Amino acid sequence: MNVALGVGGGIAAYKAAELARDLMARGFTVNVIMTRAAEEFVRPLTFAALTGRKVITNLFSAASAEDTLSSAIEHIRVAQENDILVVAPATADLLAKFAHGLADDFLSTTYLAFTGRVVLAPAMNTNMWNHPATQANLRILRERGHLIVDPDDGALACGMVGPGRLAEPSSIADAVANLATPAKRDLEGEVVLITAGPTQEPLDAVRYLSNRSSGKMGYATAEEAVARGARVILVSGPVSLAEPANMEVIHVQTAAQMFDAVMQHLDESTIIIKTAAVADYHRADAPQHKVKKTAARMSIELDPTVDILAELGRKKGDRLLIGFAAETENLIAEARRKLESKNCDMVVANLVSQSGIGFDSDENEVVLVTRTSDPIAVRRAPKKEIAARILDQTMSLRLALR
Ligand code: CTP
């Protein structure tokens, strides 16, 4: 498999030589493209000697220098002949160019012409990394589906300490190798019913009771399950996320509606994952009109909603049932209690009291509690990665129960 290795101009450019060597040791053919700035730090000859291949150094000096290729449309050929484009170090300038489609040298034109998977390993000064412009560019690139190998924290050449140091070449090579291995299809044949988001329980014609769930964990799990070959039915409470592709999505508002939708699809499902943060109470006699304000204190009587997970626990048969437990204390004990009381095969427990993870965040940190093994701690990671670990564990339960 061919990898184009773009080398940006930064002190970490020398580490790209190590990366090239690591990639070759893993069987990749490495074609190096250096920016003009990169040449200030490392000589093209280093890469040519390491890879045994021509090193591309500049778009517009083509046809003259010996170590460059001869045609002005060469970037198209390079884009077509490589399966993965990895850029290390990706400078702030390169990230900005890629994010906005600027194409004024060989690497940036190749990037625009490239249709395969892209891995970017940024390296720069901490302040440059933290700058809103860089972070906004990273967001664009992530949303475009590129894999960002985050820089490490540590002492930088500029004397500062913080994020910005190029990730270890072996971690960057791992990321490339992961992309190169065909996606797992271990959920083929499974029908996964997933609930996501909050529910909203009307208090009157315009008000409701709800919670801070964003639905991100459930949507990430649904997308991961589809990618791994499952047929997915997603029952979603009100969220502001883009409609996911390649699955059946059923939108509901209340716990009662979520219950109906889940029960309707119970027969056909083989795995049920209850990510939703279902409201525990609702106002049974919610007036149909808007309640007017008065000076008096007001109290509202609430009734428990139906516990969908507990009901599923009674009816699950040999389906795998995965519940969630959002707790602020006694995480494992609470998860174990829910595992038993709701007859789940696994409970995904997370502490919602920490900032940056759990409700309404892009990241999560969970503990997977099952009957058969010790609790498995999954360290803080993007929700997509957490989803992958939940599905890995679900499938190993499936194998164990067969
Ligand atoms: N759940 C459900 N129906 C409800 C309430 C919760 O299906 N009416 C499910 C959630 O989808 C989640 C799990 O139960 O998978 C645990 O939710 P949580 O709110 O943590 O637990 P509760 O059962 O409400 O328990 P407690 O309030 O005691 O923490």
Domains (range + CATH), the chain: 2-180 (3.40.50.1950), 191-282+301-401 (3.40.50.10300)
What are the helix (H) ranges across 26-164? 36-39, 44-51, 74-81, 92-100, 106-113, 126-130, 132-143
What are the helix (H) ranges across 181-245? 216-227
Q: Is 307 in the pocket of ligand 1 (CB under 6 A)?
A: yes
Q: Is 335 in the pocket of ligand 1 (CB under 6 A)?
A: no
Give CA separation, 82 vs 60, 241, 284, 337, 346, in Å: 21, 34, 61, 52, 42
Nearest to 197 by CA among 258, 247, 271: 258
Expressed in angstroms and rounded, the spacing between residue 170 Cα and the centre of ligand 1 is 42
The pLDDT assigned to 224 comes to 96
The pLDDT assigned to 22 comes to 97
The pLDDT assigned to 273 comes to 98
Q: Is 282 in the pocket of ligand 1 (CB under 6 A)?
A: no
DSSP state of 374: -
Query: Token pair for residue 286?
Result: 């919610």
Active-site option among 72, 73, 158, 205: 158
pLDDT in tens, the chain (402 residues): 999 999 999 999 999 999 999 999 999 999 999 999 999 999 999 999 999 999 998 755 544 555 444 556 788 888 889 999 999 999 999 999 999 999 999 999 999 999 999 999 999 999 999 999 999 999 999 888 899 999 998 887 878 888 899 999 999 999 999 888 877 899 999 999 999 999 999 999 999 999 999 999 999 999 999 999 999 999 999 999 999 989 999 999 999 999 999 999 999 999 999 999 999 999 999 999 999 999 999 999 999 999 999 999 999 999 999 999 999 899 999 999 999 999 999 999 998 877 777 777 888 899 999 998 899 999 888 899 999 999 999 999 998 877
For the chain, the C-alpha Rg in angstroms (whole number) is: 26
The pLDDT assigned to 1 comes to 94
Q: Is 196 in the pocket of ligand 1 (CB under 6 A)?
A: no
Strand partners, 273: 194, 322
The greatest distance separating any two alpha carbons of the chain, rounded to the nearest whole angstrom, comes to 87
Atom 8 in ligand 1: which residue has the minimum CA distance? 307
Q: What is the pLDDT of residues 322-339, one digit of tens each?
A: 999 999 899 999 999 999
**Ligand 1 test: best mutation among 199, 309, 328, most atoms within 8 Å of CB?**
309
The pLDDT assigned to 62 comes to 47
Separation of alpha carbons 53 and 112, rounded Å: 23
CA 306 to ligand 1: nearest atom = 8
Nearest to 231 by CA among 263, 192, 275: 192
Question: Tokens 């965040």 appear where?
Answer: 361
- What distance lies between CA 237 and its chain's CA centroid? 21
The pLDDT assigned to 67 comes to 47
CB proximity list for 162: less than 8 A, separation 6 or greater: 126, 129, 130, 153, 154, 156
Would you say 173 and 30 are in contact if contact means Cβ atoms under 8 Å apart? no
Separation of alpha carbons 168 and 227, rounded Å: 28
Separation of alpha carbons 321 and 314, rounded Å: 11
- The question of whether 158 is a catalytic residue gets the answer yes
Q: Is 276 in the pocket of ligand 1 (CB under 6 A)?
A: yes
Strand partners, 324: 348
CA 305 to ligand 1: nearest atom = 8
Nearest to 387 by CA among 221, 147, 165, 145: 221
Query: Token pair for residue 224?
Result: 């991961």
Q: Is 385 in the pocket of ligand 1 (CB under 6 A)?
A: no
Separation of alpha carbons 140 and 144, rounded Å: 6
CB proximity list for 337: less than 8 A, separation 6 or greater: none
Separation of alpha carbons 357 and 14, rounded Å: 36
Nearest to 397 by CA among 340, 328, 344: 344
CB proximity list for 126: less than 8 A, separation 6 or greater: 156, 160, 161, 162, 163, 164
Would you say 85 and 118 are in contact if contact means Cβ atoms under 8 Å apart? yes
Residue 17's CB: how many other CB atoms inside 10 A?
19
The pLDDT assigned to 401 comes to 79
